[in-house]
Chains A and B, each alone.
Chain A
Amino acid sequence: MSTMPLISEAARDCIISIEVGPDKVKYSVYKSVLMHYSKYFHNSLGGSWKEAANNMIQITDIDPSIFNIFVNWLYRQALPVSLEDWVITAELTKLSSNLLPTQLCNMLKMKTYVFADRFQVPALRKALQREIASPNIDCAPSFDMIIYAFENLREGDPILLFLVDSTCMFWNPFQSSNEEKAMLSRLPHDYLAMAFTRYGRLVMTQWGNAPRKLGDVCQYHEHESVDEKQACERAQQGSQTALVLTNTGWHVCS
């Protein structure tokens, strides 16, 4: 995108009515600003379509709170800063959602990212990529967000990879809530496939081609008594140094 259009200049131009969401919340936005930042609006308002003829666009399947964030970004060329900012900008009250503030905020970011992807706003999309995949991330993304993202972004979008990686890195199965465990079954297949691949890769980058070995194989044997287990372990003696898989992760055994 070239330099930002002057608002004064845009103000002399046409205003477009946009009706957003199932309740048709009405917005009036400068046409030239819209067309400048979004290829979608550029095509829609620049071609010989109904929208261009009527100076009116209906977008029913978008949440007005997301459109709020978009319009604010459009005129300010900046995203909200704090968690509160995000909520305020989206014109939501904390009460209106049962999510934690962090989760709510992350969800808003993700939805806005999907919006930017769909309506082809490259500048906004880039800004959000930096916002979402920031180096300060220290916890796994919520399953809600993962499900939403995998349904609404194209295969190969880098943010999807980010979601997989950050889960692999930070998700702690011992601390997950029951709710979360219940959602495990709903995780998208694409996500799981990517996670599986990613996990394999992590192992490879961590250990390379060093010889590996499963740890206590007796856990798969259903030994009925301690004696039987000990007998089995004796039979296994002589095994060399190897990587050992325990219940809690990889350890080096000698």
Chain B
Amino acid sequence: MIAGRGRQRIRPPRRSVAGDDVDFEQTWTKISAAFTEIHTKNASRLSYEELYRLAYRVVLKKKGDELYKRVRQFEHNWLSTEVRSAIQALFSPNLLANTQGLGGTTANERRVAGERFLKGLKQAWTDHQVCMSMLADVLMYMDRVYCQDVRRLSIYTTAMLLFRDDILNSNTSEIDSRVVLALLNTVILDQIQMERDGDVIDKHLIKSCVYMLESLYDDEMESEDQRLYNVSFEHEFLATSSEFYRHESEFLLRDSDAGAYCKHASRRIYEEDERCRSTLAESTMPKIRKVVEDELIKNRIHELVEMESGVRFMIDNDRLDELNLIYDLNARVDDRKTELTRAIQKRIVDMGTDINNAAIAASQATPAAPAPEAGDKAKGPNQEKSLNQQTVAAIKWVEDVLQLKDKFDHIWKDSFQSDHSLQTAVTRSFADFINSPTFPRSSEYISLFIDENMKKGIKGKTEMEVDAVLDKAIILLRYVQDKDLFERYYKKHLCRRLLMNKSVSNEVEKQMISKMKIELGNNFTLKLEAMFKDMTISEELTSGFKKHVEGLGDKDPKRIELGINVLTSMTWPLESMGSGDDDENKRPKCNFPMALDRIKRGFEKYYNEKHSGRQLTWLANMGSADIKAVFPKVAQKDGSFKERRHDLNVSTYGMIILLLFNELPADQYMTFEEIHAQTNIPRNDLMRNLQSLAVAPKTRILIKEPMTKDVKSTDKFYFNEGFNGKFVKIRVGVVSTGNKVESDRERRETEKKNDDSRGFCIEAAVVRIMKQRKELAHQQLVLETLNQLAAQFKPEVTMIKKRIESLIEREYLERIEGARVDSYRYLA
């Protein structure tokens, strides 16, 4: 710059410039000759020291750049001449024809041609890797010094990229513009398709080619998703697989049943997983799985579930394995298993509704069923019979539901891997049909079922079996929404069992109560437990009174023994024990015969000494009596002529009626009206008692005139002197003493009572809430009320509204004037 600007450039003195140049060319000649030897697999004659020294010297002389370029050029030449022609020699006409989609080749021919190509390519790749690692060893100093300093890719990496560019991305031939890589993809995909069709292929060979694609990258960044495998092969693999499985699923849905489809689908999923492991790359596994799941399951699950041989068929035929498969498939694509859940729920509700309908049909069909032979019989027994049938239907309903529950429990455990969400769904469906508005009887039926089992069902059963039965009942109870209605029925049924000594085991009764306590809480069983308590106290009272009477004086052989049950009126559903005709307030007071009246007063005195201030009301309609009866010697039909003694077990009313005839000569009669006048037994009860004493053939202790089924107020009654029973002990049953399904009228009453008590519950809840909150919006009040009562029943919103209205009228609450939303204020 100082001297002669622009005229002459001063070049830095380079020492022995010419000498170095000559040196490099000579060196390169030696190196390149050695590289050729390496590529032709003659390396064992070469000295590593010599080659390394040559390269080392060149780099020290700052010719690294030149050396790098020459090596790259050398490899480029080698690949695009020697290697490429070797690869092109592998393209048989078969191979090219196939990949162009031309027919006319058999699978076997294609497989052989494909394998030859894969083998050749794999060989070329392996050779290239081996040679390049040797070259890289020789050029190690260059890699370390030159490539690192100027941030070049290592010579090995560069050479791998050359393989990509000069071999994989080269045209298959001069006339064919497709590149080798595309051909490779097609061949591998073709092989995979062959395997899917059942052929055996060389997995190992394909795997080596996949390794090649995995170690080459499309760009220079070498990021994972830029591997040739991902960029080129995997993409095509997923696309063709998607296509393939779309067709396959279409075909399968058309030509096979759901079970076979499921088996096939899970086999395919397994196969593809295996393929990724053995033939392709594990990284593809989730992707191909998604493809298969989408095509075979997600897009088809609805059709599959709804098929004729679908979920419904599997349930009905207990195809547990297939259900398990379908569960597994559905779970793969949908955490919530929507389709399966929907199908299961629908099936449960359908089957449950069938059971409901069958129960309704059974209970309605009965009046017609007992057939014409009952034609001349009175209406009473007919109705009784129908009620009996209904009871049977009720018990059948419970058993059917339990069976259904068992079935689905079984499926749930064996096929659905005890899946939590499905359990919830199953439970909801059971609750759905059990609480169906078209079937309001479940509470009653369940209580009846328990009743039946308490009375006879558990006889001769082991503790375990009894436990199982009780548990079943509890399970059903769990589904019932209106727990209060159930409580009402249970109380009623329990009441009868206790008072009439129908229960087989007190122990089991108590067990049941404690089970309910666990299931439904303390509140629920409080009153039931009080009933048991009353019973215990009554036993004590009875024995105490007996002792008291014995202490009074001489033993009177004619003394009447009194067994008494003192029932707390709030606890016991006494109204349901009555015949239902009478107004609750004027409980029937019948006239007791003198002997009875005395003992009655005796007990009242005894009881008042113990508990003063309590009022006892005698419920004659619920008692029973044992009477020793003597029938005089009159001629029998069979000609015998002797006195007969019977122990009669009759209702209290029956006893009162019979006692009337004690004082009446045998040939005299009493009319219905007379009996009614003397006893003051309610007409209805009287009619029924007379019916069992005078109409039922086996217990015809009275004779009625005229002999008809019905008891009319004009009928006359005589004592049947000629009565002859087959047994000494005779039980005179009064109709409708057992627990049976309610008649429609009774049910309406029960429901009305239930609604009334619900009304109180709702009011109590509302007041509790308002007392705490002072002011609350309508919507929220309703919501909280529903929450509070959820354990007992689900009240209707209109009912809540009515109760709120009523509370406002009675000035417990007031509306807040001018509030933005309807709100109430609590008035203390």
Determine if B45 and A118 form an interchain contact, defined as CB atoms under 8 angstroms apart. Answer: no
Q: Which residues of chain A from 147 to 167 have any CB-CB distance to chain B below 8 Å in the complex?
A: 151-156
Type the 1/0 row for A24-65, where 1 means its CB is closer than 8 Å to any CB of B: 000000000000000110011001111111000111010000
Q: A39-B140, A118-B141, A154-B59 are in contact. Are A49 and B48 (CB under 8 A)?
A: yes
Determine if B134 and A154 form an interchain contact, defined as CB atoms under 8 angstroms apart. Answer: no
Q: Does chain B have a CB within 8 A of A189?
A: yes
Q: How far is the CB of B245 from chain A (nearest CB, A)?
A: 48
Q: A44-B52, A156-B149, A189-B13 are in contact. Are A49 and B44 (CB under 8 A)?
A: yes
Chain A residues with Cβ below 8 Å from B52 are: 40, 43-44
Partner of A40, one of B15, B62, B140: B140
B47, closest chain A residue (CB): A50
Assembled-state Cα–Cα distance A191/B141 (Å)? 22
Number of interface residues of B (CB under 8 A): 24
Determine if A49 and B62 form an interchain contact, defined as CB atoms under 8 angstroms apart. Answer: no
A152, closest chain B residue (CB): B60
Q: A49-B46, A50-B48, A61-B53 are in contact. Are A189 and B149 (CB under 8 A)?
A: no
Partner of B49, one of A58, A120, A152, A155: A58
Q: Does chain A have a CB within 8 A of B56?
A: yes
Q: Does chain A have a CB within 8 A of B145?
A: yes
Assembled-state Cα–Cα distance A51/B52 (Å)? 12
Q: Which residues of chain A from 177 to 215 have any CB-CB distance to chain B below 8 Å in the complex?
A: 189
Q: How far is the CB of A237 from chain B (nearest CB, A)?
A: 30
Type the 1/0 row for B127-156, where 1 means its CB is closer than 8 Å to any CB of A: 000000010011011001100010000000
Determine if B47 and A189 form an interchain contact, defined as CB atoms under 8 angstroms apart. Answer: no
B61, closest chain A residue (CB): A151
Chain A residues with Cβ below 8 Å from B46 are: 49-50
Chain A residues with Cβ below 8 Å from B12 are: 189
Q: Which residues of chain B from 42 to 76 have any CB-CB distance to chain A below 8 Å in the complex?
A: 43-49, 52-53, 56, 59-60, 62
Chain B residues with Cβ below 8 Å from A50 are: 44-48
Q: Which residues of chain B from 4 to 29 have any CB-CB distance to chain A below 8 Å in the complex?
A: 12-13, 15
Partner of B145, one of A44, A47, A48, A154: A154
Q: How far is the CB of A110 from chain B (nearest CB, A)?
A: 15
Assembled-state Cα–Cα distance A120/B44 (Å)? 23
Determine if A53 and B49 form an interchain contact, defined as CB atoms under 8 angstroms apart. Answer: no
Q: How far is the CB of A129 from chain B (nearest CB, A)?
A: 16
Determine if B56 and A118 form an interchain contact, defined as CB atoms under 8 angstroms apart. Answer: yes
Chain B residues with Cβ below 8 Å from A49 are: 43-44, 46-48
Assembled-state Cα–Cα distance A187/B239 (Å)? 68
Q: How far is the CB of A250 from chain B (nearest CB, A)?
A: 25
Chain A residues with Cβ below 8 Å from B134 are: 47-48
Partner of B43, one of A48, A120, A152: A48
B149, closest chain A residue (CB): A156
Assembled-state Cα–Cα distance A137/B277 (Å)? 62
Assembled-state Cα–Cα distance A170/B45 (Å)? 51
Chain B residues with Cβ below 8 Å from A152 are: 60
Determine if A51 and B49 form an interchain contact, defined as CB atoms under 8 angstroms apart. Answer: yes
Q: How far is the CB of B399 from chain A (nearest CB, A)?
A: 76
17 A-B pairs in the complex with CB atoms less than 8 angstroms apart = A39-B140, A40-B140, A47-B43, A50-B45, A50-B48, A51-B47, A51-B49, A52-B48, A53-B44, A58-B47, A58-B49, A151-B60, A153-B60, A154-B60, A155-B62, A189-B12, A189-B15
A44-B137, A155-B149 given; 7 more Cβ-contact pairs under 8 Å:
A43-B48, A47-B134, A50-B46, A50-B47, A50-B48, A118-B56, A152-B60
Residues of B that sit less than 8 Å from A by CB: 12-13, 15, 43-49, 52-53, 56, 59-60, 62, 134, 137-138, 140-141, 144-145, 149
Residues of A that sit less than 8 Å from B by CB: 39-40, 43-44, 47-53, 57-59, 61, 118, 120, 151-156, 189
- For the complex of A and B, list the 8 residue pairs with the smallest distance between their C-beta atoms, beginning with the closest: A43-B137, A49-B48, A44-B48, A154-B145, A50-B47, A48-B43, A51-B48, A53-B44
